[in-house]
Structure 1
Amino acid sequence: MSDDLEIRHGGVVSVDPEALRVVADALVALAPRFADAAAAVRRAHGCLLALPPATLRVDMSALWGSAERAEALHAECREAGENTLLMADVFELVERRAELSALEIQGMTVPGALYARIDALVASDARVAEMEVWLLASWKKDRFDGLDEQFDPEGLGQGPIVGPLFAAAAAAGARGFGRIPPGTTLAGSAGPVSVTPIRTGSPAAPPGSLAEGLGRIPEWSEAQLKVEKYTMPDGSKKFVLYSKGTQPSLDSDEPFDMGSNIDLYFRQESASYAATAEALAAAGAEPGDEVHVYAHSQGAMNAAYLVSQSEYDVSVMVTAGSPVHVTAGEGHLLVELRHPDDIVNSLAGGGRPSGSGSSDSVVISRDGSPIDMGLPAHMLDNYIETAALADESGDVRLDAWREKANELTQAVSIESTEYVAKRE
């Protein structure tokens, strides 16, 4: 994996249009000053020409050249300001259409002012709607960059099995199977499952970094789930759930198997989701309790449905290599780690143009390199490495996650339990 790191909100637009307009206004206001400077230099040039001895001590050509440069800067500054205003309108149009789509998906009434604003932006400049199309096309392309090289390190062609494999994954994602609309619930019943505590402990502190949070997933034990219970000074309880991904097991009692993957992806209740809910309940979580989640792969799908349908307050969800993308509301802080060359990530369909979750939610990605059939781009260790790079970056867009994680340091006690889940 490359060390190139990108952190953004997850949608097409990663810059606030109003912030762009502030910059544009400043550029437009600055432009006349360059024109004034050019005029002042030309006046000085004229005055010096009237004093022949002075021309022997001043480089008149350089002085004239500085006036020409000031005039060029005036034009460049004015043009940059106008173009920045244009891009602000394009970005706002994308946001407004995404807002319209979200309201329609939820069956909510669309304010007339929203339609009016969209019409005004389109009418403001013929280039706005055209550039919107370009922006969306670029986003759709970039979200799958690297996937076509995932299994072709020598550039020899994708092969009779592997090529169709990632093509099918990308196609399924593109058709929207991996995008979970607001309020989506799982259908059916997974049947009985059991969760058995196998290890308890008392961590000294909550995770202090994204990498540490993902690192607490019980990767090297037989447990698939871990739950930490935080008792706060006022007696309330908060919980942190850690969940593995798919387990390479042929045992019929393994709930985190490929069958559960298929169930979840096609919105049927899986044994692994039932086990996840059972583990939270066994740890003492009750409806309305705040839950933070760190999950990989299939565990991330279960986390998405905890957000979408459970009665828990899933205030923080940190996922790695999720096959789905949940449309969450402002009350959910999502931190999604996604490798563009991870075939499992492609099943999510690249997310929604408007992003998801609170305005502080982020998607963290790293460009990959051609990979073999071992799927290392999807492995948890690689995602932990990406998380560590994000932690080390000091990026202010992670401050909201840091603040939420820091709230748990106020706990008076922490209890940790690892659970083995089985189908009954």
Structure 2
Amino acid sequence: MSGLSIDHGGAISVDPDDLRRTARRLDAVAEAYRDARRLLARAYEFVVDTPGLSARMDLVGFHVVGERVEELRDECEDTIESTLLMADVYEYVELRVQWLMDERSAAGREAREGMRRLEDADARIPGMAADLLDQWRVERFEGLITQMPWGGFLGPVFLPLAFIGGGTSLGVVPRGAKLHGKAEPVSVAPVKASTPAGAPAGLEGAVLRIPEKRGAQVAVEKYSFAGGTSTYVVYIKGTQTFAPGDWGGRDPWDMKSNSELYSGRRSASYDATIAALEAAGARPGDQVAVVAHSQGGAVATYVAMQSEYDVPVVITAGSPIDPTLRDDQTLVTLGHTDDGVRALSGGGSPGGTGTADSITITREQDPGFTTNDVGIPHHLASYGELAAQADASGDPRIEELDAFWQRLDEAEVIERTEFRAERVAKED
């Protein structure tokens, strides 16, 4: 496995507002250096102006210390300038993404005005943003490209789809988008109930609560608090049948649903997920967090963007599409760069989305080209390993996510129900 990367998403390493807050903190440090320099200068003058005192003091030492403080102040001010410039570049990338996704809307026009404002403020910004995007475009399929020689199979199959996802923007669902059309009716029934001792322990714990064995495609945990409020966490698994003969069959988690979700059409797997939440007691306006793998990530995208639930956290692993979330929704995206299904997202959005704590976590699961490249980077267990690496990274955004699970641990009652969904055949 190659090195772990955690950033804000796409070409953005850190949320621009976080960078500006860092710059403000650095400015306070710089001001302390300025004060220290002034105090040293005043002390030096006092020593020199006081008869007989300079002979007993190390004036050279005064000078050396003063020069060093001045150097530190200058370094701090240079860092502030470069930090603010990088924040503007990241903001420019995000505004450009917004503008290109919807040039004709009021939001698109507002984004273009923001770009012009930044262009006028510093002529370097557009070029730096273009370089940043070029680098991201080269690196986003790095793990997949190394698979090209393997049997002549994986590269020809997945790489064109990856570029289609990026080139057509099918891999990123724009803000305001909703599924259209009507899916086949589904039946949803509980198949297992349990009472977990607590909320997931970190990101790995959350990912590994996605139903893995056959028999259930969705699990819903209900966290009931004193006072009568409840929070729900829904776990959605990935595609269960890939056979062409199963297209539109009993299991809604099939290639038909994949095709529908990728093209923005309503799928039976989406309707089944909403039905499972309703059966678990979730009502419009209730808080629902989503943890999902593969096709489940596509379902999660639309649960977060169009359902009537309040969705504060979305965690996807190996999802073929990415949502564009509001600034009060946190998105955690796990993706192996050598995962062909994840590559369908086209690398995701070049700009960040969601709260400042939203992150994209990537690595190449199996560098080079080996037999492991056939499916293993996409396995849920592989994403559990990636989540464990992220948990151990010490990244403050991961720690903020931990705070969400800790709040759930305060629930008085925790109930977990696993659901099995099937399409309802015409003769039923």
Give the TM interval when normalised to the shorter protein.
0.7 to 0.9
What's the counterpart of residue 164 of structure 2? Answer: 172
Stretch deviating more after TM superposition (378-387 or 205-214): 205-214
Inter-partner Cα distance in structure 1 for 2:354 and 2:83: 27
Contact 1:24 / 1:84 at 8 angstroms: preserved in 2? Answer: no
Q: Are 1:185 and 2:178 an aligned pair?
A: yes
Report the counterpart of residue 396 of structure 1 in structure 2: 396
The answer to which of 286-295 and 6-15 deviates more is 6-15
Distance 1:194 1:115, change over 3 A: closer
What residue in structure 2 maps to residue 210 of structure 1? 203
- Change over 3 Å in CA distance of 1:197–1:267 after alignment to 2: same
Counterpart among 3, 11, 18 of residue 20 in structure 2 = 18
Partner of residue 227, structure 2: 234
Identity, % of aligned positions: 42
- The change in CA–CA distance for 1:77 and 1:18 in structure 2 (over 3 A counts) is closer
Alignment partner, residue 422 of structure 1:
422
Residue 286 of structure 1 aligns to which amino acid in structure 2?
R
Equivalent-residue separation in structure 1 for 2:151 and 2:379 (angstroms): 23
After the TM superposition, which of the residue ranges 394-403 and 159-168 deviates more from structure 2?
159-168
Shift of 1:359: 1.7
In the other structure, the counterpart of 2:359 is 362
2:299 alignment partner AA? N
Deviates more, 1:245-254 or 1:337-346: 245-254
Alpha-carbon distance, 1:167 to partner: 2.2
2:96 counterpart of 1:97: yes
Which deviations, in whole Å up to 9, do the C-alpha atoms of 1:185-242 show, x marking residues without a partner?
1122111111121111111111121111111111024211111122211112221111
- Of residues 186, 198, 220, the one that matches 2:191 is 198
* 1:236-282 per-position Cα deviation (integer Å, ceiling 9, x unaligned): 22211111100136552111111111111111111111111111111
Counterparts of 2:269 and 2:81, CA distance in 1:
54
Q: How does 1:9-408 map to 2 (within 5 A)?
A: 9-13=8-12, 14=14, 16-19=18-21, 21-22=23-24, 86-98=85-97, 100=99, 104=103, 107-108=106-107, 110-111=109-110, 118-149=115-146, 151-152=147-148, 157=149, 160-174=152-166, 175-248=168-241, 250=243, 251=246, 252-368=249-365, 369-370=367-368, 371-372=370-371, 373-408=373-408
Q: SS where residue 164 of structure 2 aligns?
A: helix
Secondary structure of 1:393's aligned partner: coil
Q: Which runs of 5+ in 1 are unaligned?
A: 37-67
Q: Structure 1 CA distance, aligned partners of 2:277 and 2:84?
A: 49
State the partner residue of 2:43: none
Question: What is the aligned partner in structure 2 of residue 59 from structure 1?
Answer: none
Provide closer, same or farther for how the CA distance between residues 161 and 237 of structure 1 changes in structure 2, counting only shifts above 3 A: same
User: Which amino acid is 1:335 matched to?
Assistant: V
Q: Deviations over 1:366-395 (max 9, x none)?
A: 233134352211111010001111112232
CA 1:87–1:29: 2 relative to 1, 3 Å: farther
Residue type at the aligned position of 1:345 = R
Note closer, same or farther for the CA distance 1:239–1:71 as it changes in structure 2 (3 Å cut): closer
Q: Identify if the C-alpha distance between structure 1 residues 115 and 385 changes in structure 2 by more than 3 Å, giving closer, same or farther.
A: closer
| SS across alignment from 2:298 | helix
TM-score, reference length from structure 2? 0.80
After superposition, the CA RMSD in angstroms is 3.6
What amino acid is the match of 2:290? V
For the structure 1 residues 124 and 384, does the alpha-carbon distance in structure 2 shift closer, same or farther, using more than 3 Å as the test? Answer: same
Q: Distance in 1 between matches of 2:74 and 2:234?
A: 56
**Partners in 1 of 2:306 and 2:84 — Cα distance?**
41
Matched positions, count: 398
C-alpha change, 1:233 and 1:259, in structure 2 (3 Å) is same
Shift of residue 17, structure 1, vs aligned partner: 4.4
